[in-house]
Amino acid sequence: MRKAVYPGSFDPVTLGHLDIIERSARMSDWLIIGVLNNNSKTPLFSVEERVNMLKKMTSHLPNVEVKSFGGLLIDFMRANGADVVIRGLRAITDFEYELQMAQTNRVMAPEIDTVFLTTNLKYSYLSSSIVKEIAYYDGDISEFLAPEIAECVREKMSERKKNG
C-alpha cells in the first residue's frame, strides 16, 4: 500500500492546495494531509480549525485522511508508515526552499522520497499569505478559495480586527 503525506500549514487551504490534494490522492493508495502545528508561527486559524476545514473540503475523497503534526515531518511519516512526501511547486522561487527540505529529509530518512507536483497554471501565483493580505484589506478572495473557506477567512479577519 502506497501511503503518502501532503504536509503544510494550510492557513487556510486554497484552491491550489485542493488541486494538489485531488491529483495526489489519485496517485496514492492512501493520502494523509499533515497539518503543521507550529507554536512559533502565529497562524490565522488554530490547528483544529485548519484540520476541520480540510476535512470538509476532502470529504468526497475516500482515501484521504487529515491529521495534525508537530515536530519533524519524517517522524510523522514514520509513525504513520508513509514513505512519500508530496509537495506542490508553483514557480522557480519555490525551488530552493523545497530542494533544501527534500534533501535534508532524505539525509535524515533515506527511505522517504519527496515527489513534486507542478501546480495547475491557474494557481501558480497563489499563496495562503497573499490571500490573507487581500482579506485583511477587504479585497475579494472568492477566486482563490472554496466558498466555505472564504467565508471562514472573512469572519476570522473581522474578529481579528475587532479585537485589535
12 binds ligand PNS (CB under 6 A): no
- The interface region with ligand PNS, picked from 19-27, 98-106, 145-153, 154-162 by CB under 6 A, is 98-106
Cα Rg of the chain (Å, integer): 16
Applying CB under 6 A, does 58 fall inside the site for ligand PNS? Answer: no
The side-by-side arrangement of strands in the sheet containing 64-69 is 64-69, 30-36, 3-8, 84-89, 113-118
Q: Shortest Cβ distance from residue 104 to ligand PNS (Å)? A: 4
Question: Of these residues, 9, 24, 128, 132, which one is catalytic?
Answer: 128
Residue with nearest beta carbon to ligand PNS = 8
Query: Is 73 an interacting residue with respect to ligand PNS (CB under 6 A)?
Result: yes
When binding is defined by CB under 6 A, the residue of 72, 79, 91, 99 that contacts ligand PNS is 72
Angstrom distances, CA of residue 2 to CA of 20, 25, 73, 107, 161: 17, 11, 17, 21, 44
- Residue 29 grid coordinates: 493508495
